[in-house]
Amino acid sequence: MPKFSLSANPELASTLNIVFDLGGVVFNWQPNTIIRRVFADSETQELVKAEIFEHVDWVELDRGSITLDQAIVRGASRTGLPRGTIEKLMDEVPRSLTPIQGTIDLIRSIRHSDNKLFVLSNMHIASISYLEKKHKIWDMFDGIVISSRIQKVKPEIEIYEHLLKEYGLNAPETVFIDDLRENLTAASSIGIQTIRYVDPFQCRRSLADLKCI
């Protein structure tokens, strides 16, 4: 099985729109590690994983349809855990999103080319606000789409259509990089080129194949 998937188009333009996901691509995203920082026993860890990070409320938090406080209250009710411990868990989330330096270096390399750079990410307000204050990388991008700010989430087609319309992009001239197959499948369905992210080195090779760097 190949380490990456690249939907090829022999008629790609020489100048491309390169779109990066954030969590798991530009910043580390490791829910199990976050959970272990707050909860010691394995049974509670599995409960929290299922009822917080894998629950539909997490998607709605990313969508911006519920607030962080609502997510905490509902999560505490579902798990039976004290609200304070769920608050502590949620406080850990933004701080856990540490940069993947290899990807940052890759973005800088692309910035020096003729290609344009964009962000398309599912992320709730507290996390993106923290990242924007903490890290000085945002001026490298020509456009940024965050799910909680437009009330649309991947892999729903509407969020990809929003990106294309908002910045006047042509799908065949756009390459979307994400670590989740379902998000790439949705992008491909409307003609966007895709690369499944594994690590910075593989991603760099894939982009080099497209002559982006």
Mean pLDDT for the stretch of residues 11-29: 87
Domain that holds residue 176: 17-28+98-209
The answer on 35 and 72 residing in a single domain is: yes
Count: domains in the chain: 2
The answer on 22 and 109 residing in a single domain is: yes
Which residues neighbour 33 within 8 Å (Cβ) at sequence distance 6 or greater?
96
Q: pTM, whole model, 2 decimals?
A: 0.92
Whether the CB-CB separation of 99 and 76 falls below 8 Å is answered with no
32-82 confidence digits (pLDDT tens)? 999 999 999 999 999 999 999 999 999 999 999 999 999 999 999 999 999
Mean pLDDT for the stretch of residues 147-164: 98
Is residue 124 a part of any domain in this protein? yes
Is residue 11 a part of any domain in this protein? no
The reported pLDDT for the residue numbered 10 is 42
Give me 121's structure tokens.
């990410």
For the chain, the residue count is: 213
Q: What are phi and psi of 67, to 5 degrees?
A: -85, 165
Distance CA 149, CA 57 (A): 16
Task: Give the residue, 10 or 18, on which the prediction is more confident.
Answer: 18
Task: Give the residue, 78 or 113, on which the prediction is more confident.
Answer: 78
The answer on 71 and 131 residing in a single domain is: no
The reported pLDDT for the residue numbered 8 is 43
The answer on 104 and 92 residing in a single domain is: no
Domain end marker among 42, 64, 96: 96
The answer on 72 and 137 residing in a single domain is: no
Give the CATH number of the domain where residue 150 resides.
Answer: 3.40.50.1000
Whether the CB-CB separation of 188 and 7 falls below 8 Å is answered with yes
